Structure 1
Amino acid sequence: MLIISNHIRLPDAEIEFHAVRAQGAGGQNVNKVSSAIHLRFDVMASSLPEEVKQRVLALRDQRISSDGVVVIKAQRFRTQEKNREDALARLQALIAGVLKTPKKRVATKPTKGSRERRLQHKSQRGKVKSLRGKVTDH
């Protein structure tokens, strides 16, 4: 059972694991041992609330395939068990990230003082730039 929040829990049956050989350094061990983990999680077939499913699918994340399956490859550690925990933690972080609704932006207006300072700075820069022209003798 993967606990996402107080209200959302994922049963182990919804998460699929496959052990594969890891990439990168590791000498002969990397060629013999399947220590990397491929985690597959079908969002649409899961027990997540409908609103959360839609938010997960709306993410622009390369780990989510076009048919709504989250695929996470964990190969950071040398043991299969640690990679399994890492993959679960990354899935948990992905789903927990969409649970927080972003704060709505409240439009504000600049203050009178900030507008005056901006205009004063603008006129000062204009004077400096006008003095950069050619010098003529009168």
Structure 2
Amino acid sequence: MPAPAPSTPIPETEVEVTAVRAQGAGGQNVNKVSSAVHLRFDIRRSSLPEDHKARLLALNDRRITRDGVLVIKAQSHRTQELNRAEAWGRLQELVDSVAAPPRPRRPTKPTAASRRRRLEAKTMRSEVKQLRRPVAP
């Protein structure tokens, strides 16, 4: 397993943390959390390297809006500081996952060597099956 990539620090000035209350789905949202936190991070204006920004924007994540703003919500029933720390941790985890170098892709076509091995195994199986057949009297 490769060594973990060094954590990319995110300046606190680039992240907007908003304490929200009762911004639920409306209607019958009974469990409104008074300590909910929304964290907004503008990907395009951030000081991240350009390749990290491109990978972040290319993610298929519904938390990223069309204008490149990542919104992370932490709204568990606990203190506001814990919700803030959880949202910040999720942001850092997402940025770190993008900062890691992409894994080399497995070749999609079978190689000549693997084809040959497969054919040899196939012929060996058929030979073994022929040996198992009862001999006709």
TM-score after normalising by structure 2? 0.69
Q: Which amino acid aligns with 1:112?
A: R
2:99 is matched with which residue?
Answer: 99
| Structure 1 residues 21 and 123: CA distance shift in structure 2, 3 A | farther
Asked if the contact 2:35–2:78 (Cα under 8 Å) also holds between the matched residues in 1, the reply is yes
TM-score after normalising by structure 1? 0.69
CA distance in structure 2 between the aligned counterparts of 1:123 and 1:58, rounded to whole angstroms: 52
Moved more, 102-111 or 34-43: 102-111
Q: How far did residue 120 of structure 1 move?
A: 5.6
Long gaps (5+) in structure 2: 25-30, 130-137
Q: Deviations over 1:6-36 (max 9, x none)?
A: 5x3221111001112366xxxxxx55x6201
> Mapping of 1:1-138 within 5 angstroms?
5=6, 8-21=8-21, 31=32, 34-107=34-107, 109=111, 110=114, 112-118=116-122
Asked if the contact 2:36–2:80 (Cα under 8 Å) also holds between the matched residues in 1, the reply is yes
| Structure 1 residues 111 and 47: CA distance shift in structure 2, 3 A | same
Runs of 4+ with >6 A deviation: 122-125
Q: How far did residue 119 of structure 1 move?
A: 5.1
Q: How far did residue 116 of structure 1 move?
A: 2.3
CA distance in structure 1 between the aligned counterparts of 2:63 and 2:127, rounded to whole angstroms: 52
Q: Which amino acid aligns with 2:56?
A: V
Long gaps (5+) in structure 1: 24-29, 126-138
| Structure 1 residues 38 and 124: CA distance shift in structure 2, 3 A | farther
CA distance in structure 2 between the aligned counterparts of 1:34 and 1:99, rounded to whole angstroms: 34
Q: Which amino acid aligns with 2:99?
A: L
Q: Deviations over 1:70-89 (max 9, x none)?
A: 00000134110000000000
Identity across matched positions, percent: 46
Aligned residues: 115
Q: Which amino acid aligns with 1:12?
A: E
Give the SS at the match of 1:101. coil
2:133 is matched with which residue?
Answer: none
Give the SS at the match of 2:47. coil
